[in-house]
Amino acid sequence: MFDKGEMVFYKNIGVCKVVDITKLDFAMDEDQKYYVMESVFKNGVNYVPVGAGIENIRNIISKEEAEKLIDMIPEIEAEAILDLATKEMTEYYEEKINSGDPLDILKLTLSIDRKKEILAEEKKKFGAIDDNYLKKAIDMLFEEIAAAVGIEKEKMPQYIKDRTGYNFTE
């Protein structure tokens, strides 16, 4: 159970704030309570039944966990996945994104970023699928870390660079 005012990570949506726990006039079950969650970094309100769909919501990581995650970046050996067919690559990316696990998402981000770097060195095109998943993974990662450490999401690339020396490819 989550409390009003709590920051949570809602899978595939991102960081949300629980602004209310209430019954909804327009719900089919008038006795069902809902979490009313406002997206912190995007526009939108989500209504999630209390007790149902809870597997898609978790507390955001702590400031200490976020800093530890960032500090791991130089140690992570990101392997660029260059040999998968489009379908398998998409399935792999989806699996990692849908895990909602910050470490999995970080590793995926670094892996796709490494692929982008390699392809640029070889003067090859970075594919749209890779680009879309890189943006999605970075967005999810930066949202949660920014919320945990209390900085603006837009400042995340510089924050990471200052802490680790890692610079995401442009």
Interval 31-81: pLDDT, tens: 889 899 999 998 899 988 888 777 889 999 999 999 999 999 999 998 898
Q: Same domain for 38 and 72?
A: no
Q: What is the pLDDT of residue 21?
A: 94
Q: Same domain for 99 and 136?
A: yes
Q: Same domain for 33 and 73?
A: no
Supply the range of the domain harboring residue 43.
7-59
| CATH value at residue 101 | 1.20.58.1290
Q: How confident is the model at residue 27 (pLDDT cuts 50, 70, 90)?
A: low
Instruction: Please count the structural domains in the chain.
Output: 2
Q: What is the pLDDT of residues 114-150, one digit of tens each?
A: 999 999 999 999 999 999 999 999 999 999 999 999 9
Report yes or no on 135 lying in a domain: yes
Tokens read off for 122? 């070889």
Report yes or no on 1 lying in a domain: no
Residues present in the chain in total? 170
Tokens read off for 3? 């409390």
Q: Same domain for 120 and 70?
A: yes
For residue 154, give the DSSP letter. G
Q: What does the alpha-carbon distance between residue 164 and residue 129 come to, in Å, rounded to a whole number?
A: 28
Cβ pair 66, 140 in contact under 8 A: no
Q: pTM of the full predicted structure?
A: 0.88
Q: What is the pLDDT of residue 169?
A: 66
Q: What does the alpha-carbon distance between residue 58 and residue 29 come to, in Å, rounded to a whole number?
A: 24
Q: Same domain for 34 and 67?
A: no
